[in-house]
């Protein structure tokens, strides 16, 4: 880094299935403006770990399923695709992976395949409306999970109901006890957006609340609040 230059922040937005690249255009613009105001130089990439919306849905869903289980399975298709892309574009500095839907599963698996960066603690993973992927305890504090809730605080995103963070623990008298949060991310938080699974990055008037805050702004705010002084 040359004298006087802004420190780099590498941001990768990972899409789920059947997602047009243009869906992240406004998000990229706002993230760029936010971090530049804070004195960073963001390098932002949009990645389609399961291909774009022209691919067959069933093929994409099958690939997502390789990234969700806790035990290693053959493939980790989205995670491996994402890790390869990041290796080819990453230069230096902190790494922020923001994954929507299946992209959240791919983001976590990719981070585990980047040990050089992960060992330095320079990786943070944001999962938005993703299926529940069991998180290794060594990564717990690096993963934030956000899901849509309605006005009554109930889950409004059916995809976030999929998967499990559960596992067995030793309970009283050495009896096994099921803990549904054993492999949960360090932060799990409901996000009061308008709509549901497909709408976290929407910014049109129909997705703006009575306080004139759109879904996209709410999503970016919770991400930045969680990151705080990291990076």
Of the two residues 120 and 106, the one the predictor is more confident about is 106
Helices (H), the chain: 25-37, 57-64, 77-89, 102-112, 115-119, 215-227
Average pLDDT of the segment spanning 185-200? 96
Q: Which residue has the higher pLDDT, 108 or 69?
A: 108
Residue 19's pLDDT is 93
Maximal C-alpha separation, the chain = 61
Q: Give CA separation, 109 vs 3, 27, 175, 192, 213, in Å.
A: 35, 23, 32, 27, 32
Asked whether the whole model's pTM tops 0.75, one would answer yes
In whole angstroms, what is the distance from residue 45 CA to residue 119 CA?
22
Residue 4 has pLDDT above 70, yes or no: no
pLDDT of residue 69: 86
Tell me the three state secondary structure of residue 143: strand
Confidence at residue 161, expressed as pLDDT on a 0 to 100 scale: 95
- Residue 92 class from Cβ within 10 Å (0-12 exposed, 13-18 middle, 19+ buried)? exposed
Mean pLDDT of the chain: 92
Using one digit for the tens of pLDDT, what is the confidence trace for 57-94?
999 999 999 999 876 656 799 999 999 999 999 988 99
Beta strands in the chain (DSSP E): 8-14, 41-47, 95-100, 123-128, 143-148, 167-170, 176-179, 187-191
For strands 167-170 and 143-148, give the pairing.
unpaired
Write down the pLDDT at residue 193. Answer: 95
Q: Give me the pLDDT at residue 113, please.
A: 92
- Cα distance between residue 75 and residue 86, in whole Å: 17
Q: What are phi and psi of 118, to 5 degrees?
A: -60, -40
Q: Tell the burial category of 8 from Cβ atoms under 10 Å away from its Cβ (0-12, 13-18, 19+).
A: middle
172 confidence band (pLDDT: 50, 70, 90): confident
């Amino acid at each position: 880094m040359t004298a006087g230059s802004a420190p780099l922040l590498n941001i990768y937005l990972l899409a789920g299935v059947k997602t047009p690249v243009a869906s992240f255009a406004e998000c990229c613009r706002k993230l760029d403006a936010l971090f530049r105001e804070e004195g960073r130089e963001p390098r932002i990439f949009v990645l389609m770990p399961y291909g774009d919306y022209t691919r067959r849905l069933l093929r994409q869903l099958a690939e997502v399923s390789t990234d969700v289980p806790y035990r290693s399975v053959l493939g980790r298709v989205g995670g491996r695709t994402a890790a390869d892309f990041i290796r080819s574009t990453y230069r230096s500095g902190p790494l922020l992976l923001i994954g929507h839907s299946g992209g959240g599963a791919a983001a976590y698996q990719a981070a585990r395949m980047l040990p050089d960066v992960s060992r330095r603690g320079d990786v943070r993973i944001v999962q938005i409306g993703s299926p529940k992927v069991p998180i290794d305890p060594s990564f717990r504090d690096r993963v934030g999970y956000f899901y849509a809730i309605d006005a009554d605080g109930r889950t409004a995103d059916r995809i976030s109901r999929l998967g499990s963070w559960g596992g067995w623990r030793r309970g009283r008298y050495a009896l096994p006890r099921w803990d549904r949060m054993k492999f949960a991310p360090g932060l799990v938080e409901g996000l009061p957006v308008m709509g549901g699974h497909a709408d976290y990055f929407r910014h049109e008037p129909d997705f703006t609340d009575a306080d004139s805050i759109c879904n996209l702004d709410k999503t970016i705010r919770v991400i930045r609040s969680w990151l705080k002084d990291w990076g």
